[in-house]
Amino acid sequence: MTGKLHYEDLDIGRSFACGTYAVTKEEIVEFAQEFDPQPHHLDEEAAKNSMLGGLAASGWHVCAMTMRMFADHMIPRAAARGGAGSREARWMKPVRAGDVLRVEAVVTDTRESRGRPDIGHVTFECRVFNQREQVASIFMTPIISRRGQK
């Protein structure tokens, strides 16, 4: 994995652009039908009377879309080995059909592994923006190899 970013390279504050994701109504409804069949993720009319004020993506769909951008743009650059969880997901604003999302992944925390000298834990805050404003923060915490490890 020479040339890849290792644990030692990922200083707190370092930031990485992770591309874009175009949100469609079809995908919002399809994800909701499969995983989160609440009326405000399925139906325009029902959504108008909900707290979201109109059809919007499931928060877990926002996490999944964010993972796609992180997997395409950040993971290939790093000596990543998988992850054991997410520290938090904050869904701040509705994600609508027609939005084009982009992610900025910022290193907010690093921690050496207690038991294993070959890996470390790195927390990335994935800040998700639409065309106008930030709509979510999804925390990704991949395990990253230390330098000198494959």
Instruction: Report the interface residues with a copy of itself, using CB under 8 A.
Output: 31, 34-38, 40, 50-52, 58-61, 63-65, 67-68, 71-72, 75, 81-92, 143
Distance of CA 119 to the CA centre of its chain: 22
Nearer to a copy of itself, 83 or 107 (CB): 83
Cα angle 65, 71, 77 (rounded to 5 degrees) comes to 150
Q: What is the smallest separation between the CB atom of 83 and a copy of itself, expressed in angstroms?
A: 6
Question: Does residue 48 contact residue 108 with C-beta atoms inside 8 Å?
Answer: no
Nearer to a copy of itself, 82 or 148 (CB): 82
Nearer to a copy of itself, 91 or 124 (CB): 91
The distance in angstroms from the start CA to the end CA of the chain is 6
Q: What is the smallest separation between the CB atom of 142 and a copy of itself, expressed in angstroms?
A: 10
Q: What is the smallest separation between the CB atom of 65 and a copy of itself, expressed in angstroms?
A: 7
Q: What is the smallest separation between the CB atom of 146 and a copy of itself, expressed in angstroms?
A: 15
Nearer to a copy of itself, 3 or 82 (CB): 82
Dihedral angle sign, alpha carbons of residues 52, 55, 56, 58: positive
Dihedral angle sign, alpha carbons of residues 41, 82, 114, 11: negative
Dihedral angle sign, alpha carbons of residues 65, 70, 75, 77: positive
